[in-house]
Structure 1
Amino acid sequence: MEGSLDVRVTGGVVRGVREGATVAWRGIPYAAPPVGRLRFRAPRRVVPWQGVRDAAVFGRVAPQAYKGQFTGVGPDVPSGEDCLTVNVVSPTSASAGGPLLPVMVFIHGGGYSVGSSQDFSGQGRNFVRTGAVVYVSFNYRLGALGYLDFSRYSTPRRPIDSNLGLRDQVAALRWVRRNIRAFGGDPDRVTIFGESAGGNAVTTLMATASARGLFARAIAQSAPPNAVYSRDVAAEWAAQFVEILRGRTGTGIGPGMVTLPASGTRQPLTVAQTVRLLTTTDAGTMVNAALILQARTPDEYPGAFCLAPVIDGRLVPRHPIAAFADGTAHRVPLIIGTNDREGTIFRKRIDILPRSASRIEAVLARGTAESRDLIARAYPGLPGGALAPDFGGDYAFWYPCVAVAERHSRYAPVYFYRFDVAPRLMRWAGLDATHGLEMFALFEQTDAPLARRMTSLGGRKVFSNAGERMRDAWIDFAAAGAPPDWWPRYVEHERLTLIIADRDRVESDPRAARRQAWSALLPLG
């Protein structure tokens, strides 16, 4: 590949662009456009093209809102359902005929409702500039088009598949397996990594049978591994969505769908009418309807998030944490961890965690009196008080990550971390090392406008240095399946955890009282 911009991949030839010490190929289709009859269907084979396809620019992002609880791309960024594209960035020194480099495949976050491979965290230039890895990112279906389960409405004439966004991720990894050699990457040393929803994707893929053999290591940053739901719960969310969509599109979709003037209620839709509504409504209306469902869910189902993978009995046969518990998850080395105070950012506009009194009480009601007492001692002042954000963040992110780590460590190497570095302004604002903060350090984005504001009162150098150490450990892990020797493995009897701080240290079972309280309240797996 050295010196060449043209690469043959599944579907045809693509031409990349040189960018300093790297070469990038963007917007390469890894599946057929999921439009028309392919909306709500599992990804299909790439449609071949003639000649050389320009791969200098990113493909369209998945339809998403640029306002709302989760803010996506701006309205000027091209979006559309034809969004299943992959990007590859290689060092200019890489050679398809020479030694193959480890491959790092990043899965973007965004609550499975926003985000894309165009985000700064999806581009990975700082990883590739080391000359040590080939970097891959991709788009996948989001929101109602990717993460609501409408399979209950499937008919022989119009089949509807489950777990569409997850199926897209598997398809992208298969594309990497088939094609990455042409870019100088080693298909046997693929590391998948992601943050937040991307971290959930990582832990779910580790329990997805069809992803077996597609990656050799995994990194889950601030994952909510427990955010995978039963078909019954998913079916309720699908039904609610249909009613929201029906209200936003009017009643003119076919015979039998009428508003009864006497009571103001509506006759139930037939399955055929529901399918027609779902398959003919434009993507923008689908996005806006999903925003309404998202806003309802945290109060109706405290601690749940409606856009998430589903235990469908096929692609996801059982809950991933159960698969980690009995060793049926893919036995690959895993780095997993969270930030110090995940829950502090989830307030006001981003209000999805169980941190209000009513939501906290609903979560506590699931446990015994003894377990509630343990929680009360671990989080004094609940259901209100200063520790309510930590209760919500620990519920969604930290404790489920601990549960995955301890279970997977019985079968494969696990390395656990906690990211504690926060610039002075973040501490002054009471946010500390909150959800997503480490991404600015890891991806060397301290000069981005938001990062410059966060570090305006000091702490930029310490923050940047922590990201560099983290990035070096990630690259070592991708190359060898283990981080540097100073980071010990996580095993249940010691629970050694790397604390990434101003000066890194290793602690045994940090926050043991919280872990024990959650284990009693919500035994997972």
Structure 2
Amino acid sequence: MSMVSFLAAALLMISLAGPTDPMPRAAVEQGTLIGREADGVRSFKGVPYARPPVGGLRWRPPQPAGPWGERDAGQVGPICVQPPGNGDNGVGPLPMSEDCLTLNVWAPAQSEGPLPVMFWIHGGGLNNGSGTAALYDGTRLAKRGVVVVTVNYRLGRLGFFDHPALAAERAPGAPAANYGLMDVIAALRWVRENAAAFGGDPDNVTVFGESAGGALVTRLMISDAGRGLFHRAVVQSGLGRDEGTPLDGPRRDGGPSMRTRGEAFAAAHGAATAEQLRAVPAETFLQPAPNFYGGDLLVKDGLYVADDVEAAFAAGREAPVPLIIGANSAEFWWMKPSDLSPYGAIDDAMTEAERAAFLAAYGGQEGYDQFVLSDLVFNEPARHLARLHAGNGHPTYLYRFDVVSAAMPEPHAGATHASERQYVFDNLTASPWPTTAMDQRQADAIAAYWTTFAAKGNPNGGERPAWPEFGAEPDRLLEFTNDGPVARTVPFGDRLDLIEAYYARVR
């Protein structure tokens, strides 16, 4: 069947299902999906976009999903293998399994013309999370006239891992180690081929992600394999100054390669061959937990990711797409720079003069301890990437999220890490704390900006406050506050300037 015939058949199937069909059908390349309709939105859940990466397919690139004829798509699939969620509302329900490469789709039951597609990449440090959490239910965004897709991708050492025995069985130049990123790209390819079956426009796809999901968005932006699969990007607290680990060779900071790390882990579990590694129970790879910022999971494999994000943006090699990027006001308020962690080590190279200047800028040790890591890891890198992207001639919109619910119990002094997610999805019922009418007003605003951006590459429209375009109005952003969105100069620019100078010196 030609692509034109396939798309026509898919659209016809949507129209035949009718606007009130409780069991809508969608024709995709692998067969027919039987979804559900409720409250004016059709959903199709637990849809395989690749074959199960089990047995001999563990630590191999994702393979296309096989045909299924008719398939019930009324329930989400298992989450990928991961440690306990410890109350994180972004994890999703059990069971968990290596057979987890599924996605979920929400689309308006009635629409005119192809709709923008919003493709969500969850966070969780590449160790946790899923696209199946109620937090990421796409119903309320779909009601705004978009098709929403959420995805599961391999996590931890099952998703980001290498070993000399695995390298020996690969052909030269074959993809390696970045299997979770490969999964995301495979899912985007599936969306490109099948978006029309849900009323979506394959030529208008927005990738958006938070934390580690945001870091994957920036990697998609610098990956040749991701080029052309998306047309706008949103990075929520997605770092930007982070360093990838090469397959074979030391990191810039001197840390070991992916293969060396994998060999050390395997040796501790008595596995030396590829066959032995694939026979190890999946849960074994959870302990000890791999370190996200310390180099175990962010991979510079030379093929899918050939450079660090900052370097690629600086060289103008990122995707030339409209970008929203930003962070929260008090991301890591609970983590001190004196803590023994890779984050705590970021400021270790400061000179006496630099530290004195930082302490003065932050109003003393208490302010430094509370806010400097948030700025070092998230806020300054977001501003830096925004400057680079805008400087390369691409539409760029910087934000700062500072909405704090009155019921939030933490001694936060700002919006903590990941707290924007329930506002972006307009899913305040999934919030970990009670919410108010104020929270709903801010959720309405941010969801409207995000969906408008997905539609036209510019978040502005309606009667909302205008969001400055960063290239046209340098160092101005939109701040989301309890009183509503406000356009303003980047807050605490003096602090961020000190951080920029510090990074320039040490790197």
What band does the TM-score fall into relative to the shorter chain?
Answer: 0.7 to 0.9
Partner of 1:64: 82
Partner of 1:440: 422
Following the alignment from structure 2 to structure 1, what is the Cα–Cα distance between the partners of residues 87 and 430?
22
Structure 2 counterpart of 1:377, one-letter code: A
Following the alignment from structure 1 to structure 2, what is the Cα–Cα distance between the partners of residues 499 and 281?
48
Partner of 1:170: 185
Contact persistence 2:105–2:138 (CA under 8 A): no
Shift of 1:69: 10
Contact persistence 2:140–2:427 (CA under 8 A): no
Following the alignment from structure 2 to structure 1, what is the Cα–Cα distance between the partners of residues 132 and 341?
38
Contact persistence 2:134–2:430 (CA under 8 A): no
Q: Cα deviation per residue 1:140-197 (whole Å; 9 max; x = unaligned)?
A: 0001111234468411379872211111111111111111011100111111101111
Quick check: 1:133 aligned with 2:141? no
Contact persistence 1:355–1:391 (CA under 8 A): no
Contact persistence 1:150–1:160 (CA under 8 A): no
Q: TM-score, normalised by structure 1?
A: 0.83
Shift of 1:315: 1.1
Quick check: 1:201 aligned with 2:200? no
Following the alignment from structure 1 to structure 2, what is the Cα–Cα distance between the partners of residues 151 and 316?
20
Q: Which of 69, 73, 83 is the aligned partner of 2:100?
A: 83
Shift of 1:361: 7.4
Following the alignment from structure 1 to structure 2, what is the Cα–Cα distance between the partners of residues 176 and 378?
47
Cα distance, 1:343–1:423 mapped onto 2, change above 3 Å? same
Indicate the SS of the match to 2:119: strand
State the percentage of identical aligned residues.
34
Quick check: 1:145 aligned with 2:146? no
Structure 2 counterpart of 1:464, one-letter code: Q
Shift of 1:431: 5.0
Contact persistence 2:50–2:64 (CA under 8 A): yes
Cα distance, 1:361–1:140 mapped onto 2, change above 3 Å? closer
Cα distance, 1:239–1:420 mapped onto 2, change above 3 Å? same
Contact persistence 2:294–2:342 (CA under 8 A): no
Structure 2 counterpart of 1:161, one-letter code: A
Q: Which runs of 5+ in 2 are unaligned?
A: 1-13, 18-23
Shift of 1:204: 1.1
More moved, 8-17 vs 106-115: 8-17
Shift of 1:511: 1.2
Partner of 2:329: 340
Partner of 2:440: 464
Contact persistence 1:242–1:274 (CA under 8 A): no
Count of residue pairs brought into register by the alignment? 473
Following the alignment from structure 1 to structure 2, what is the Cα–Cα distance between the partners of residues 336 and 151?
37
Following the alignment from structure 2 to structure 1, what is the Cα–Cα distance between the partners of residues 213 and 343?
26
More moved, 394-403 vs 203-212: 394-403
Q: TM-score, normalised by structure 2?
A: 0.86
Shift of 1:311: 1.5
Shift of 1:11: 1.9
Contact persistence 1:65–1:73 (CA under 8 A): no
Shift of 1:417: 0.7
Aligned CA-pair RMSD? 2.7
Q: Which runs of 5+ in 1 are unaligned?
A: 254-272, 298-303, 348-352
Structure 1 counterpart of 2:479, one-letter code: I
More moved, 276-285 vs 224-233: 224-233
Following the alignment from structure 1 to structure 2, what is the Cα–Cα distance between the partners of residues 221 and 473?
14
Q: Cα deviation per residue 1:64-85 (whole Å; 9 max; x = unaligned)?
A: 11156978757x7121111111
More moved, 59-68 vs 107-116: 59-68
Structure 2 counterpart of 1:174, one-letter code: R
Listed as ranges, the matches of 1:9-408 within 5 Å are: 9-49=28-68, 51-66=69-84, 73=91, 77-94=94-111, 98-130=112-144, 132-150=145-163, 153-156=166-169, 161-231=176-246, 232-233=250-251, 235-236=256-257, 239-240=260-261, 242-247=263-268, 249=269, 251=270, 273-289=272-288, 291=289, 293-294=290-291, 304-344=293-333, 346-347=334-335, 354-356=337-339, 362-368=345-351, 370-382=353-365, 385-408=366-389
Cα distance, 1:72–1:435 mapped onto 2, change above 3 Å? closer
Shift of 1:41: 0.8
Indicate the SS of the match to 1:343: coil
Cα distance, 1:192–1:368 mapped onto 2, change above 3 Å? same
Following the alignment from structure 2 to structure 1, what is the Cα–Cα distance between the partners of residues 385 and 371?
19
Cα distance, 1:364–1:288 mapped onto 2, change above 3 Å? closer
Structure 2 counterpart of 1:144, one-letter code: R
Listed as ranges, the matches of 1:480-499 within 5 Å are: 480-484=456-460, 486-491=466-471, 494-499=474-479
Indicate the SS of the match to 2:60: coil
Following the alignment from structure 1 to structure 2, what is the Cα–Cα distance between the partners of residues 373 and 60?
50
Following the alignment from structure 1 to structure 2, what is the Cα–Cα distance between the partners of residues 491 and 314?
31
Following the alignment from structure 1 to structure 2, what is the Cα–Cα distance between the partners of residues 402 and 420?
16
Cα distance, 1:472–1:72 mapped onto 2, change above 3 Å? closer
Cα distance, 1:482–1:23 mapped onto 2, change above 3 Å? same
Structure 2 counterpart of 1:66, one-letter code: P
Following the alignment from structure 2 to structure 1, what is the Cα–Cα distance between the partners of residues 87 and 222?
29
More moved, 506-515 vs 486-495: 486-495
Contact persistence 2:164–2:259 (CA under 8 A): no
Q: Cα deviation per residue 1:47-99 (whole Å; 9 max; x = unaligned)?
A: 222x301111111210011156978757x7121111111111111103xxx51
Structure 2 counterpart of 1:437, one-letter code: S
Following the alignment from structure 1 to structure 2, what is the Cα–Cα distance between the partners of residues 493 and 475?
22
Following the alignment from structure 1 to structure 2, what is the Cα–Cα distance between the partners of residues 168 and 160?
12
Following the alignment from structure 2 to structure 1, what is the Cα–Cα distance between the partners of residues 200 and 411?
43
Contact persistence 2:36–2:44 (CA under 8 A): yes
Following the alignment from structure 1 to structure 2, what is the Cα–Cα distance between the partners of residues 406 and 216?
19
Cα distance, 1:151–1:52 mapped onto 2, change above 3 Å? farther
Q: Cα deviation per residue 1:456-486 (whole Å; 9 max; x = unaligned)?
A: xxxx221221111000011111111101161
Quick check: 1:475 aligned with 2:488? no
Contact persistence 2:89–2:432 (CA under 8 A): no
Structure 2 counterpart of 1:178, one-letter code: E
Shift of 1:389: 3.1
More moved, 314-323 vs 361-370: 361-370
